Amino acid sequence: MRPWKRIVLNTLRPIDRFYDQFKFHFKRFFRIGNTTPITIINYRSYGTSDKVVVKGRVIKQVLIKTTREDSKWKNFRNNLRRFLSTKVANAELEIKINEEIFAIKTDKEGYFDLSTSLKNHFSPLEKDWRNIEVKLVNTPLKKLEVQSESEILVPQKGNYGIISDIDDTILQTDVTSLLKIRMLYLTFLKNAFNRNVFKEAKAFYNALQKGANGEARNPIFYVSNGPWNLYDFLVVFLRINGLPKGPILLRDFGIPRQRVPRNYQGHKKESIKKIMNTYPQLPFVLIGDSGEKDTDVYLALAKEFPGRIKSIYIRDVESPRRAKRIAQLIKNASSIDAYFVKDYFQAAKYASKKGYLHFDTFKSFRKKNRKS
């Protein structure tokens, strides 16, 4: 992180903390929002037979339901609710994994994050997803008990892993639009049913997951700089567009409460490094776009983890200035198998030649997509 950013954050952090405390006590005194239910939002996460990462958040929020027919006004209200939800700090939870119970508290923003080894290992099963129990047992607001389940990906049959960005890689977001006006329009006035997925993303991602023999279960992870507030929206978007199920790793929206370590390399790079360190024997395919810094991050990871990155695919967002920079970055890293592609049909051709997918599998998903 640049020094000036660190100074600004360190200045704003106590102001933000004071504002949150004032808002909390104000609402409590005047009993504002007392009827709003307290909810556990469990984020899909990942692990191995003997260690897991469990993430989630405790908030006060009315359940948000969306349909294809929702008006722009309803979409705006729902999306605004996502960003204005009230976090519940210092909530006490119990996480039960294979009869082993872990006690944890939420942080100032209502998040909980458990990274732990397991005494009772997951037994080998045919399925990749395991359910664990997450129970809310107490909050500073009131004592209550809320039961929920979280899903953990424990890969069983993967030949390689897939790590993908989301915005402008799968989901049309227009992050590069002037003053991000188009991005704000899409974020607040649309919902998961009427947002656009890029052509042939479904075919490419599913073919990669099934591998060269068409029968693999290569694990997929979605890592984005988007805010956690949009998590439920992204779960629905991926499902209705037929993209493979995987953990979704986002970041907090706003000013980070903890001081950022001096060697911190950004949310996306740190998240990918954690995934790669969790599965040290697994190589990875990385997918991103030319809109922001995906290429820089992925090439740096390929150098930091020699031999672990099989291929990098960067989707062109059709900005000549950015295209020139990306092409030069890839040219300068000639020892790394990286491709700047105009679409996922071209990416699938490259991946097929490398033996990462069977092109017939890609064509099969492509055909199904046209019929649906």
Q: What is the pLDDT along the chain (372 residues), one digit of tens a residue?
A: 555 555 554 555 565 555 556 555 555 555 555 557 899 999 999 999 999 999 999 999 888 999 999 999 999 999 999 998 889 999 999 999 999 999 999 999 999 999 999 999 998 877 899 999 999 999 988 888 899 999 999 998 899 999 999 999 999 999 888 778 999 999 999 999 999 999 999 999 999 999 999 999 999 999 999 999 999 999 999 999 999 999 999 998 765 555 555 555 689 999 999 999 999 999 999 999 999 899 999 999 999 999 999 999 999 998 888 999 999 999 999 999 999 999 999 999 999 999 999 999 999 999 877 655
Q: How many CA atoms lie within 13 A of 249 on its CB side?
A: 24
Q: Which residue ranges does the chain devote to CATH 3.40.50.1000?
A: 161-371
CATH-assigned architecture of domain 35-153: Sandwich (2.60)
Tokens in use for 330?
A: 């890839």
Strands (E), 169-254: 220-227, 248-251
The long-range contacts involving 356-359, CB below 8 angstroms and separated by at least 24 positions, are: 356/160, 356/208, 356/211, 356/212, 356/285, 356/310, 356/311, 357/204, 357/207, 357/208, 357/210, 357/211, 357/212, 358/207, 358/210, 358/211, 358/212, 358/213, 358/214, 359/207
Report the topology of domain 161-371: Rossmann fold (3.40.50)
Q: What angle do the packed helices 320-332 and 294-304 form, to 10 degrees?
A: 10
The long-range contacts involving 343-349, CB below 8 angstroms and separated by at least 24 positions, are: 343/198, 343/199, 343/200, 343/315, 344/198, 344/199, 344/200, 344/201, 344/203, 344/204, 344/315, 345/200, 345/204, 347/204, 347/287, 347/313, 347/315, 348/200, 348/203, 348/204, 348/207
pTM of the entire predicted model: 0.90
**Do 60 and 33 touch, CB atoms closer than 8 A?**
yes
**Which pLDDT score, from 0 to 100, does residue 9 have?**
45
Q: Which residue ranges does the chain devote to CATH 2.60.40.10?
A: 35-153
Q: From CA 370, how far away is CA 372, in angstroms rounded?
A: 6
Q: From CA 19, how far away is CA 312, in angstroms rounded?
A: 43
**Which pLDDT score, from 0 to 100, does residue 206 have?**
97
